[in-house]
Amino acid sequence: VPQSPDQSIWSDSKDPGYDWLRQRGTHDTNDEEANVRELQRVVRVRMRHTESWLKALLKKYTMRKDRLILTGFSQGSILAALCAVRLGALGAVVCGGVTGQPVYSAQEDDYVGGGWMRWEELLPKPARRTRFCCVNGTRDCYVPRKCLETMLRPFDCHWHWDKGVGHDFPDSWYDVSLQWMQNL
C-alpha cells in the first residue's frame, strides 16, 4: 500500500506520522463552505494518486477491477470508499469510518475544527454496484453515523455497529470484515 507523501503536523523524525488529507490551511477556516471545498480538493488529488497506483497493480497482475475489494481504516476509509465506487470495485470495507475530517489552519499551525465534508458529493452518480462492509463502534465520535448511512444508502451494505465501542479497532472487526469478504 502506498504511504501518504505528506507527514502530519505532529510528525517528527522519532515518531513519523502521515496524513492522507494534509491541507494547505490558507483558506478562511471560519467559512464552512471553504472548509468543504479545501478538503474535497485534497481528496480529489489523493483519489487520483491512489487510483493510479491501483490501476497499475490491476494491470500488472491482470486482475479485473470487479474482483477488487478496498479496505480503509479511519481516515483511509474515506479514500477506500470513494475510490472503490469510482473504480467500480467489487467492494469496500470501511472500519472506523467513513470519518469526518479536521480542518487545518496554517495561521494557527493546528487543527481548528472540522466535521463531515460531504464526501457523498464526490461519488459518481450512476455507479452503484460496489458493495460495502461498514464496521464501526456506536461510541465512535469520528464517524457521524447519520451522514455515513445517508452517503451509502444507495449501496448494498453490511452494517456492523459494535455497541459501546469507540474508534478502537478490536480484533473482532477484522473477523467481521474477513467473513464479509469471503462471502462476496
- Cα dihedral 129, 159, 146, 65, rounded to 10, equals -30
- The letter for the amino acid at 84 is A
Query: 85-95: per-residue pLDDT in tens?
Result: 999 999 999 99
Q: Are 37 and 31 within 8 A, CB to CB?
A: no
Query: 28-54: per-residue pLDDT in tens?
Result: 999 999 999 999 999 999 999 999 999
Question: How much is the average pLDDT of 13-36?
Answer: 91
For residues 47 and 53, give the distance between their C-alpha atoms in angstroms, rounded to a whole number: 10
Q: What are 40's three cell numbers?
A: 474535497
pTM for the model: 0.93
Write the CA distances from 128 to 77, 109, 155, integer angstroms.
18, 39, 6
